[in-house]
Amino acid sequence: MTTATPHRIVVVGNGIAGLTASDSLRTAGFDGELTIIGDEYHPPYSRPALSKAALLDDGEMTSHHLPAPTHEASEILGVSASSLDTDNKVVGLADGSEVPYDALVIASGSRARRLGSGDAGEAERELTLRTLDDALVLRQRIATQPSVVVLGGGALGMEIASGCLDAGCAVTLVSSDPPLVRQLGSHLSEYFLAAARRRGLTIATSPAREVHHREAHSRVVLADGSSLEAELVISAVGDLPNTEWLQSSGLLLGAALRVDSRGRVAPDIVAAGDVAAFPTARGIRRVPLWTSAIEQSKVAALTLVRGNDAPELSFQPYFWTEQFGLSLKASGYLPLAGDPEVLEGDLREDKALLRWSHDDGTGTAVAINYRIPIPKLRRLSSALAAAVSPAA
């Protein structure tokens, strides 16, 4: 079954999901009016680079740059979507204007969650790292080597802590669980935590409850009654999908924007990226990762052009992080339980290719400081596949 190709397509979101959807629409042959709405003035950039190389780029920050878009869309930048009228097919903008559409791509992404209230005064003192502007502010702040408290022991929190240490800051990371255990499991959590401590990271294992800002310092109050003083507090405590503008649209199920296996929310509306919850082998969930957004967006764009003739999403998780002198790439579902099968190398030498097998017959392959193309890592992630040399 095919679908009539729309004349006007509007893409809400100018991150990697919106960019990929727009480029994919053109590649699929869509030659109608294409409009992109973005709440930032910046062109699309690599968000993963912001917590890695971008914090420490020498001179002008460039590691976040992406190739120039090829979609030749009209762009409305620096203004966010504020409402959606699905009956009249109109996107309302925060400046009061409206943008009509025949078909719509929702790629409005997510924003950083804060521990504090998020008012303007606190935002200046409790930093987050989500946008390019956030990264520019943080680079400037850590250049003077302040004392730092990082809230959150996930991958982002650990990457920020690593970058601050490399900049010469004294850093304490607050995490209610062992850092990275929820993302990677205990085996790799212990490994990364040992590397972090060798580099000088201090860990506080009681959850943060409050943040109080003073003139020169901030105080983080922990659940055990103790407190930490620092010149800079950085929150990395998760994200929130940008769905508020959809509240009156009738598209949300509770607070979630759910899509089918082709990214559809409605016959003329698709969604992709951090904002969307989609079917995976382990249930319907948001997967706010770079490669996930790219894969979802390609499928969603084809669905607007080809309807049910478009392929369904075949999702295989891919995750990577760089911190404390270690680079990890993982293909397959996380976190990981138990000990791995060692395919190559040795973790004691900080270079290894590992695999975990799961009860459902799948597996997860992990490369630590190991050069291996993503397709080969993905082949290794099958627990039933024979181990092959990365050099083969």
Q: What pLDDT digit, counting tens, does each position of 76-105 carry?
A: 999 999 999 999 999 999 999 999 999 999
Residue of 243, 238, 310 lying closest to 271 (CA atoms): 243
Q: In whole angstroms, how far apart are CA 78 and each of 44, 93, 95, 119, 148?
A: 13, 11, 10, 20, 31
Cβ contacts of 114 within 8 Å, gap of 6 or more? 122, 123, 126, 128, 235, 237
CA 261-256-285 angle, to 5 degrees, is 50
Cα 109 → chain centroid: 9
Average pLDDT over residues 187-215: 93
Q: What is the mean pLDDT of the chain?
A: 91
Angle, helices 186-198/155-166, rounded to nearest 10 degrees: 10
- Among the residue ranges 99-108, 209-218, 233-242, 320-329, the one predicted with the least confidence is 209-218
Q: Looking at residue 52, what is its pLDDT?
A: 83
Confidence of residue 318 (pLDDT cuts 50, 70, 90): very high
Q: Looking at residue 116, what is its pLDDT?
A: 65
User: What type of residue is 108?
Assistant: S
In DSSP terms, which residues pair with 92 in a beta bridge?
A: 83, 98
Cβ contacts of 330 within 8 Å, gap of 6 or more? 184, 317, 318, 319, 320, 364, 365, 366, 367
**Domain spans in the chain, listed from the N-terminal domain onward:** 8-111+239-309, 120-235, 325-380
Q: What's the pTM value of the predicted model, to 2 decimals? A: 0.92
Average pLDDT over residues 294-321: 95
Furthest-apart CA atoms within the chain: distance in Å: 64
Average pLDDT over residues 182-194: 97
Q: What pLDDT digit, counting tens, does each position of 346-389 carry?
A: 999 999 999 999 888 889 999 999 999 999 999 998 755 444 44
Tokens of 338: 């138990």
Q: Looking at residue 392, what is its pLDDT?
A: 37
Encode burial over 259-287: b for 16+ CB neighbours within 10 A, e otherwise. Answer: bebbbbbeebbbbbbbbbbbbbeeeeebb
Tokens of 383: 């627990």
Q: Looking at residue 122, what is its pLDDT?
A: 55
Q: What pLDDT digit, counting tens, does each position of 70-80 carry?
A: 899 999 999 99
Q: Which fold has domain 120-235?
A: FAD/NAD(P)-binding domain (3.50.50)
What 3-state class would DSSP assign to 214? coil
CATH of domain 8-111+239-309: 3.50.50.60
Q: Write the DSSP assignment of 62-79 as a string of letters.
A: -TTB-PPP-S--EEEES-
